[in-house]
Amino acid sequence: MARSGVRTTVKVRIKAEVITTRKRRRLEQITGRDTRTIKQYLKVIYHNEEQLVNKKKGKKKVSKAKLDHLTLTTYKKSKLPNRLTVRHDLKKNFPRRSQNEFQECRENAVAIYHGQQASNSAPAKNPPLKKIPRTQLAHSKRFILTCSPSNSIARWWVGIRDSLDTKKNRTHKHEKLWLPLACSPYHEHSLHQGKIQALEVLYYPKKKEWWVHFILLHVPDKYFSSRPPAVLGIDLGINKRAVSALLTPKGTINRHEIRFWSDKTRKKLLKEKERKITELQKILAKTSLSVNKRKSLLHQLKQLRKRERTEYKLTDHNYVNKLVKYILSVGKRYDLYVVVGFPFHIRKSHFRGNFHPRSRKSIHKWNYRRVVELLKFKLSLHGWEEHRVLAISESWTSSYCSRCGSYHTIRPNQPTFICNTCGYNLNADLNGAKNIAKRLIKYVLQPKYNSIKDQVSGKFFPLSSFRVFPVLSQWLQTKQSHLLTPGAGVSA
């Protein structure tokens, strides 16, 4: 992503079926005249290639000033040295064209020439009759885009200023040519994404449709904050309920900010309730029970399961409250983003027959979605924006090394993680938490898509909401180049 901004094009159809014949004719006149002017400019460039084109570093470049000397006369009033006669007088051919329009046509012609040189294609002797659009720039107020919600013909209109009305004795009367646009909510949304820089009016002869192309510039705002940016990666677990690791602006994991969140009361509760339920189930399995007894036992079992569920919820609340308290305390010191690894395929992969029954059972009882949702909700009560608490896919984060990125790793038992490439030895869940924090930065720095999806809410957040990360992750480009090579351990 370039720092100076990203250009995109938004294409909107003109509602040609509702505009008047006069307007349509004028549209044809304007675009036709643009095409002729651009073609003349191109002709002049090709005729005077030796004089106009400089070779710089093997690239041919047209000198625009020299091109003006060949094509445009100057007014007597202007400060420029008087140029009353030129070799190819364009003003004679197009007497009612304004200076701005000549400039826009010149830019287009030069761009076309450069494109032809880059692709080594010779100019066609008889160029096709296709129309060449002129890029009209926004900064000189060449056009206006307005919204009129009460208008019955179209909600969005573009007004194009054109000098076609200029009288020959230079009395300026620039009426705007107002064109209705077929603007859908999608177009409206994309037009609001950036600043409109330029516009092109095109005709598609096959479709017989007129279109407007808006060229937008997205400039990321500069990042200002009194606090340094940081990412808190959280790896959810079953026995250890979570592990969190803080990735600081230096790009290292803060040793004092590693937290293991376990919940002993919940574990106890789980065992106790399981025991009671299995006891009841054993009694129920007996065949010698009376009908009434069985009924009451079933009722007991139902009540027990209900109570189990509510108590689970309570422990979840307690545990998330602790997490929120910690996150808020870190958030005072850092400009913090929280990212939670979300194991959204884990239930699908644990089906009957492929894992140990006990691990399968615990995984299917694991309420990771409720935990993440609670965390998001509770932080939102403290005024946290939605994109600051993200759930992203945690796939493979526990199987590659967080220091060197190698997959050549082993886990001799559940908690230990050893990298065979660099010899890194640490807690496996901590390794996962580190990888999750780094993965978010990788998503931003090496974007495959324009947005990041939150796995829990399903919402998409544009990359511009994470503009803090280029600051945070400058080290990534230098130290951890493996994270920036494609395919390094990320399933999209």
Contact residues toward Zn ion (CB under 5 A) are 401, 403-404, 406, 419, 421-422, 424
Among the listed residues 181, 202, 192, the one whose alpha carbon sits nearest the alpha carbon of residue 32: 202
Query: Is the CB of 48 or the CB of 406 nearer to Zn ion?
Result: 406
Long-range contacts of 144-152, Cβ-Cβ distance < 8 Å, separation of 24 or more = 144/176, 145/191, 145/196, 145/214
Of 108 and 431, CB closest to Zn ion: 431
For residue 164, give the amino acid letter.
L
String of DSSP letters for 93-127: HSTT--HHHHHHHHHHHHHHHHHHHHTTPPPPSS-
Amino acid letter, 4: S
Closer to Zn ion by CB, 244 or 431: give it.
431
C-beta of 154: minimal distance to Zn ion in Å? 60
The DSSP call for residue 226 is S
Closer by beta carbon to Zn ion, 261 or else 424? 424
Rounded CA separation 199/133 (Å): 9
> Smaller CB distance to Zn ion: residue 5 or 415?
415
Residue 486's nearest CA partner among 445, 435, 455 is: 445
Residue with Cβ nearer Zn ion (37 or 409):
409
Rounded to a whole number of angstroms, the minimum distance from the CB of residue 410 to Zn ion is: 11
Token pair 């945070």 in the structure block, residue = 472
Instruction: Give the pairing type, strands 389-393 and 176-182.
Output: unpaired
Q: In the complex, what is the shortest distance from the CB of residue 191 to Zn ion, in angstroms, rounded to a whole number?
A: 47
| Cα–Cα distance measured from residue 49 to residue 123, given in angstroms and rounded to the nearest whole number | 13
Query: How near is the Cβ of 392 to Zn ion at its closest, in Å?
Result: 22
| Residue number with CB closer to Zn ion (193 or 421) | 421
Using the minimum distance from each CB to Zn ion, give the nearer residue, 45 or 419: 419
Report the nearest approach of Zn ion to the CB of residue 477 (Å): 19
State the nearest-atom distance from the C-beta of 239 to Zn ion, in Å. Answer: 25
Question: At closest approach, how far in Å is the CB of 395 from Zn ion?
Answer: 19
Cβ distance to Zn ion smaller for residue 295 or 479: 479
d(CA 234, CA 342): 9
DSSP element (H, E) containing 313: helix 291-333
Which has the closest alpha carbon to 205: 130, 147, 111, 308?
130
Helices (H) and strands (E) in the chain, counts: 14, 19
Distances (CA, A) of 427 to 81, 310, 395, 402, 410: 77, 32, 17, 11, 12
Nearer to Zn ion among residue 245 and residue 419 (C-beta)? 419
Report whether 72 contacts 90 (CB < 8 A). yes
CB of 488 to Zn ion, least distance (A): 13
d(CA 460, CA 426): 34
CA-nearest of 210, 105, 208, 212 to 163 is 105
Q: Cβ closer to Zn ion: 388 or 434?
A: 434
Residue 10: how many other CB atoms lie within 10 Å: 19
Amino acid code (one letter) for 222: K
CA separation for the pair 460, 85 (Å, rounded): 59
Instruction: Say how many C-beta atoms besides its own lie within 10 A of residue 319's C-beta.
Output: 20
Taking the complex as a whole, the smallest distance from the CB of residue 368 to Zn ion amounts, in Å, to: 27
Shorter beta-carbon distance to Zn ion: residue 362 or 421:
421
Residue 409: CB minimum distance to Zn ion, A: 7
Least separation, in Å, of the C-beta of 408 and Zn ion?
A: 8
Q: Closest distance between Zn ion and the C-beta of residue 419, in Å?
A: 3
- What values do phi and psi take at 127, rounded to 5? -60, 145
